[in-house]
Amino acid sequence: MENSISVNPHALTGRNRSKKGKNILNISATAWCSVAIAGQWIFATYLALFYAGNALIGNIEAWNNRGPHGIIEGDPIGNIAMAIHVLVAIVIMLGGPLQLIPKMRKSLPKFHRLNGKVYLVTAILVSMAGVYMIWTRGTVGGMVLHIANTIDAALIVLFGILAWQTAVAKKFDVHRRWTLRLFIVVSAVWFYRIGLMFWLGVNGGPVGMDLETFTGPFLTFLAFAQYLLPLAILELYFYAQNKAGSFGKVSTALLILVSTGVTAIGVLFATMGLWLPNL
């Protein structure tokens, strides 16, 4: 009696499609991460050159040229919060993207863990300093942006705690998800700037906003979309990774690739129109 193995060609085709869909999804995620890493390091370089650079040469007054969060005489607590918010943000924007690089996690696991702890603590510290400044000094955009940024700070604390707890419990797959969510909400300030500059760039000027009062329907949308929209795309990515079929994986990959294009254009416009001119 001959041994025989029955192979279902339809099953093989399905597996191949699923594998291709997974590969396309991974490529799209890698593309977005690459753009985000480059974009955040550009932003970090700007922060270092402008804020840290001016502080080192004793020109701290230059900070007052970049909005309402400058150095105010007679407000030592606010000034300390300002310094913490800006200078520690440089550490966050430099160190946070390193956590996205798989080779760093595999090759330097001790550094990955240490950098993760530093990122978590400094992110919470910066968010608290930011909330203090918003409610004591105000900011552009009025009450809507006050509320939106306060919610973002609360999410940073919540996601940071959950990322820490899941790491301690050695639930590393769950930990990875909470860490990525934390990265998104911590990056809201960066998303806001590149989102704003993308909108101004593609429209050739302010549409749906008043730049004098810094209010308007688009800015109201952006106040919350700066973290909720990237979070929504991240959740779709998680779903596509584990539960979606090949069509769902490819569709999500296309959405991420579009987001990558928008992110790259936003970074370009922000660099050329917002950061370089102020150095």
Segment 103-139, tens digit of pLDDT? 888 889 899 889 999 999 999 988 888 888 888 776 6
User: Would the pLDDT of 5 be above 50?
Assistant: no
Task: Provide the pLDDT for residue 1.
Answer: 43
Average confidence (pLDDT) over 243-264: 95
What is the structure's pLDDT at 267? 98
Please check whether residue 235 is in contact with residue 200, taking contact to mean a CB–CB distance below 8 angstroms.
no
Give me the pLDDT at residue 11, please: 46
20-24 long-range Cβ contacts below 8 angstroms, 24+ apart: 20/246, 21/244, 21/245, 21/246, 21/247, 21/248, 21/249, 21/250, 21/253, 22/241, 22/249, 24/249, 24/250, 24/253
Nearest partner of 87 among 147, 39, 139, 47, judged by Cα? 47
pLDDT bin (cut points 50, 70, 90) of residue 7 is: very low
What pLDDT does 66 receive?
A: 64
Please state the φ and ψ torsions of residue 4, each to the nearest 5 degrees: -140, 145
CA distances (Å), origin 129, targets 35, 108, 160, 178: 28, 31, 16, 22
The pLDDT, as a whole number, for residue 252 is: 96
pLDDT at 3 > cutoff 70: no
Contacts of 37 (CB under 8 A, 6+ apart): 97, 100, 101
What is d(CA 258, CA 269) in angstroms, rounded to the nearest whole number?
A: 17
pLDDT, one tens digit per residue, over 189-229 is 999 999 999 999 999 999 999 888 888 999 999 999 999 99
Mean pLDDT of the region 265-277: 95
Beta carbons of 263 and 191 less than 8 angstroms apart? no
pLDDT value of residue 67: 56
Q: Which of 70, 43, 29 is nearest to 187 (CA)?
A: 43
Gap between the Cα atoms of 170 and 160, Å rounded? 15
DSSP code, position 13: H
Distances in Å between the Cα of 125 and the Cα atoms of 94, 119, 121, 211 are: 16, 10, 6, 30
- Share of residues in the chain with pLDDT > 70 (%): 89
Give tens-digit pLDDT for 93-111.
Answer: 999 999 888 888 888 989 9
- Report the alpha-carbon distance of residue 271 to residue 148 in Å, rounded: 25
Please tell me the number of Cα atoms within 13 Å of 166 on its side-chain side. Answer: 18
Residue 26 has pLDDT above 80, yes or no: yes
Q: What predicted TM-score, i.e. pTM, was given to this entire model?
A: 0.87
Strand partners, 210: 215
Which range (153-162, 212-221, 266-275) has the least confidence? 212-221
pLDDT at position 234 = 97
How confident is the model over 40-86, as pLDDT tens digits? 999 999 989 998 888 788 787 777 766 555 677 767 777 777 777 78
